[in-house]
């Protein structure tokens, strides 16, 4: 009998390529962060504000994942950091092979911290190891409180959760208490930051944490 296991083959190949990516970033002592969220949660706005504050202190790079356009990459490029665009041509997530292909265009030797902005999607990206040091999930206060329990895998996989659009909080039914409670049920060790990519509120605290993580990576 011949058995063809498509899914495990794909995931197996991804694991090998993820390990390759991880080895490169470990050898170079560069932190690689995989940023994930629904479409419109504000990943790009958070990156813009983060780059404004960290550029100068750190050498930064961004790998932008998007189905077809380079709109986000254009926004990031204006901030004066190296950006590589991956267009997935309809595929709903990045995989380790796509990310690995960007490295020839990215002077990893000279970098301290590289962000991967994944395709906007709370389901599929969580299943693909890209070789990152850790995953970060963004959720916006406008999306409602039910996301951690409805999309548990992505919240379980994250080292940190950014609760974005904190400036919209007064105009929504969103509860900060409830979101903290639900995240801690799924992932008790996740760091939670309240931020606004629009106003910059809370970005400093998140950046301080990133600086510590960069330092930790360099000391390994």
From 17-25, 47-55, 63-71, 201-209, give the range in contact with its own copies by CB under 8 A.
63-71
Question: What distance in Å separates the CA atoms of residue 137 and residue 21, rounded to the nearest whole number?
Answer: 21
From 13-21, 22-30, 117-125, 187-195, give the range in contact with its own copies by CB under 8 A.
117-125
Question: Taking a C-beta distance cutoff of 8 angstroms, is the pair 154, 126 a contact?
Answer: yes
Read off φ and ψ for residue 55, nearest 5 degrees.
-65, 130
Beta bridge partners of 158: 135
**210: which DSSP letter?**
H
143 in contact with its own copies (CB under 8 A): yes
Neighbours of 29 (CB within 10 A): 13
168 in contact with its own copies (CB under 8 A): yes
Among 32, 114, 122, 138, binds its own copies (CB under 8 A): 122
Min CB(133)–its own copies separation in Å: 25
Give the DSSP per-residue string, 139-153: EEGGG-TTHHHHSHH
From 20-28, 77-85, 169-177, 203-211, give the range in contact with its own copies by CB under 8 A.
169-177
123 in contact with its own copies (CB under 8 A): yes
- The separation between CA 95 and the C-alpha centre of its own chain, rounded to angstroms, equals 13
The residue ranges that bind its own copies (CB under 8 A) are 4, 6, 38-42, 66-69, 71, 90, 92, 119-124, 139-140, 142-144, 146-147, 149-153, 165, 167-168, 171-173, 198
């Amino acid at each position: 009998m011949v058995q063809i296991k498509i899914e495990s083959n794909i995931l197996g190949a991804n694991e090998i390529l993820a390990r390759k990516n991880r080895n490169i970033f470990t050898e170079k002592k560069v932190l690689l962060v995989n940023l994930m969220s629904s479409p419109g949660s504000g990943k790009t706005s958070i990156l813009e504000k983060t780059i404004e504050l960290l550029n100068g202190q750190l050498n930064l790079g961004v790998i932008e994942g998007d189905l077809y356009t380079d709109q986000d990459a254009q926004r990031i490029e204006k901030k004066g950091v190296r950006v590589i665009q991956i267009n997935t041509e309809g595929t709903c997530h990045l995989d380790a092979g796509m990310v690995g292909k960007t490295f020839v265009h990215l002077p990893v030797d000279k970098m301290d911290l590289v962000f991967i902005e994944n395709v906007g999607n709370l389901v599929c990206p969580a299943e693909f190891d890209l070789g990152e040091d850790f995953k970060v999930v963004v959720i916006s206060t406008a999306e409602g409180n039910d996301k951690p329990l409805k999309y548990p895998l992505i919240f379980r996989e994250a080292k940190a959760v950014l609760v974005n659009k904190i400036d919209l909080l007064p105009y929504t039914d969103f509860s900060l208490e409830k979101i903290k409670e639900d995240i801690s049920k799924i992932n008790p060790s996740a760091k939670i930051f309240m931020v606004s990519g629009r106003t910059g509120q809370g970005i400093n605290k998140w950046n301080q944490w990133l600086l510590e993580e960069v330092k930790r990576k360099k000391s390994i």
